[in-house]
Amino acid sequence: MPSSAMRHERAMGLDLTPPGLSAERFLSEGEPLAGGPAWLAALRQQATLRLRVEGLPANDDEGWRQTPLAALKRFPLGGRAAAVATPASSLLRAEERAARLVFRNGALQPAAGDMAALPAGVTLASLAELWRAEPARLAGRLGRLSATEGLPFAQLNLSLAADGYALLIDDGVRLERPVEIVFAGDGEAAWHPRVLIALGRDSTAAVLECHVGRGAYLANGVSELLLAAGARLGYCRVQDEAPAALHLHAGMAELAGGARLDSVVLSLGGGLARNEWRVRLAGEGAEVRLDEVFALRGRQQGETISVIEHLAPHTGSAQVAKGVLDGHARKVFQGKIAVASGAAKAAGSQLNKTLLLSRTAEVASKPELEINCDDVQCSHGAAVGALDEDQLFYLRSRGVPLLQAQALLVDGFLDQVVETVALPTVAAALRARIAAWLAEREGNGT
């Protein structure tokens, strides 16, 4: 791993070439949105500078050893390709959602949105719009978590982001139905969508994000989630990018006392998809659930890297990831739970279970516990296996053909995560997409 000292030397003029991929290509070709408040410009400048000095990651950097970074070089780096009319698929029916926003290649499509039914106390808006019109509402929020974290692609996002959305909920406001956000990609382009969700005290909201597309594009997103005391957020991301796409996402959350974040990611798409989490349980009794369901095939690679920090007493975290791998697919997990010295009675658990449908699929799992407090309960577990032969035979003995029997068992396995999703409409949307994935597999006869 190139030490920070080495980097420092480079920065001091000995060798200015960053060790990993050059960020310069991105920075020179990207088209960040001009304007916005001075504080934001300063943050962005800082991120750009940091990227120029530190570069993008290399394979000998901790946390990036399993990532086929060379693939990045093939991707377009900048320019938002002309927004073509990709169908804006919707996972929810109009009456099931509170509102909808649609982005194509990172740019808002106002005509495709539906904002009529938003109650008072709820702001859902294009970020670019908001930072022009009401930057004060973003001050101290936008960039608050991502600016300090050393995640290079999150820096790149901060530097280049042109749009995204903000969901701001006032104290005590409860948004009953989920907000649906569609990010559709099309063609060869790169974009860096930015998400800010800020929930006031004791407020409630649910968000369903859907990432879809076609072509070989790079989507490099960052979501910052700020939950005030007692707030509850359900955050569901359906990552269903085009098979040739590169999907990078960093989710960063900070939870005040008694706040709760329930996140579930359905990971199906992308040639390479990397999902990073940085969660700070900052207030007493804050709780987070970071669940994932994944289904990968072909030569897809999926990565889930999480760091959950328990910073206050009675904080709780639970992570369950269950998925299937077919073909030559790979899945990488790195999950760290860090418990600070003051976080008495903290409880954290991690579990990942992977079903391998082929002999050539692979999974790598690396849990990590860093505990600086005596009075905590932490656990982690990982299991990898094939489908149960007895279960398969039982189904076949009832006339169910092998592929269909596998599909039924896989569906049952994945549903153990889906059934914990609180909103029935969101759970139904996930089930429908999983069923479609399984039907495609059956149809291919692989």
Partner 1 sequence: MLEIHDLHVSVGGAEILKGLSLNVAAGEVHAVMGPNGSGKSTLSYVLAGRPGYDVTAGTVRYKGRDLLAMAPEERAAAGVFLAFQYPVELPGVSGATFLRTALNAVRKARGEKDLDAMQFLKAVRERLRSLSMTEETLKRALNVGFSGGEKKRNEMLQMALLEPDLAVLDETDSGLDIDALKLVADGVNALRAPGRAMLVITHYQRLLSHIVPDRVHVLARGRIQRSGGKELALELEARGYAEFGHAA
Among 62, 95, 374, 390, binds partner 1 (CB under 8 A): 390
Rounded least distance, CB 150 to partner 1, Å? 39
Q: Percentage helix, strand, coil, to 5, in the chain?
A: 25, 35, 40
**Residue 330: other Cβ atoms inside 10 A:** 20
Rounded least distance, CB 393 to partner 1, Å? 5
**Residue 279: other Cβ atoms inside 10 A:** 26
Residue 393 in the binding site for partner 1 (CB under 8 A): yes
Match 């092998």 to its residue by tokens: 402
- Cα–chain center distance at 48: 22
Choose one: 243-251, 312-320, 386-394, 426-434; the region binding partner 1 (CB under 8 A). 386-394
Among 394, 422, 440, 444, binds partner 1 (CB under 8 A): 394
- CA pair distance 165, 110, nearest whole angstrom: 12
Q: Which helix (H) or strand (E) holds 432?
A: helix 424-444
Choose one: 34-42, 43-51, 130-138, 404-412; the region binding partner 1 (CB under 8 A). 404-412
- The smaller minimum CB distance to partner 1, of residues 62 and 389, is found at 389
Residue 432 in the binding site for partner 1 (CB under 8 A): no
The site map against partner 1 for 104-123 (x = CB under 8 A) is --------------------
Residue 443 in the binding site for partner 1 (CB under 8 A): no
Strands 232-240 and 204-214: parallel
Residue 396 in the binding site for partner 1 (CB under 8 A): yes
Residue 18 near residue 55, CB atoms below 8 Å: yes
- CA pair distance 408, 411, nearest whole angstrom: 5
Among 123, 349, 404, 420, binds partner 1 (CB under 8 A): 404
Angle at 171 between CA 249 and CA 130, to 5 degrees: 50
Binding to partner 1 (CB under 8 A) within 406-425 occurs at 408-409, 411-416
Among 87, 110, 298, 401, binds partner 1 (CB under 8 A): 401
Residue 321 in the binding site for partner 1 (CB under 8 A): no
Q: How many residues does the structure list for the chain? A: 446
- The smaller minimum CB distance to partner 1, of residues 123 and 358, is found at 358
Residue 358 in the binding site for partner 1 (CB under 8 A): no
State the DSSP string of 294-313: EEE-TT-EEEEEEEEEE-ST
Residue 428 in the binding site for partner 1 (CB under 8 A): no
Q: Which helix (H) or strand (E) holds 418?
A: helix 402-418
Residue 361 near residue 329, CB atoms below 8 Å: yes
Choose one: 37-45, 214-222, 223-231, 394-402; the region binding partner 1 (CB under 8 A). 394-402
- CA pair distance 272, 266, nearest whole angstrom: 14
- The smaller minimum CB distance to partner 1, of residues 359 and 398, is found at 398
Signed CA dihedral, 434, 102, 81, 164: sign only: negative
Residue 140 in the binding site for partner 1 (CB under 8 A): no
- The smaller minimum CB distance to partner 1, of residues 141 and 431, is found at 431
Residue 445 in the binding site for partner 1 (CB under 8 A): no
Among 62, 95, 374, 389, binds partner 1 (CB under 8 A): 389
Residue 402 in the binding site for partner 1 (CB under 8 A): yes
For residue 165, give both structure tokens.
Answer: 């959305």
Choose one: 92-100, 326-334, 353-361, 401-409; the region binding partner 1 (CB under 8 A). 401-409
CA diameter of the chain: 72
Choose one: 267-275, 298-306, 376-384, 391-399; the region binding partner 1 (CB under 8 A). 391-399
- Residue 51 has phi, psi (to 5 degrees) of -65, -40
Strands 232-240 and 362-371: unpaired
Q: How many residues bind partner 1 (CB under 8 A)?
A: 23
Residue 399 in the binding site for partner 1 (CB under 8 A): yes
Strands 107-108 and 99-104: antiparallel
Rounded least distance, CB 419 to partner 1, Å? 8
Residue 378 in the binding site for partner 1 (CB under 8 A): no
Residues that bind partner 1 (CB under 8 A): 389-391, 393-402, 404-405, 408-409, 411-416
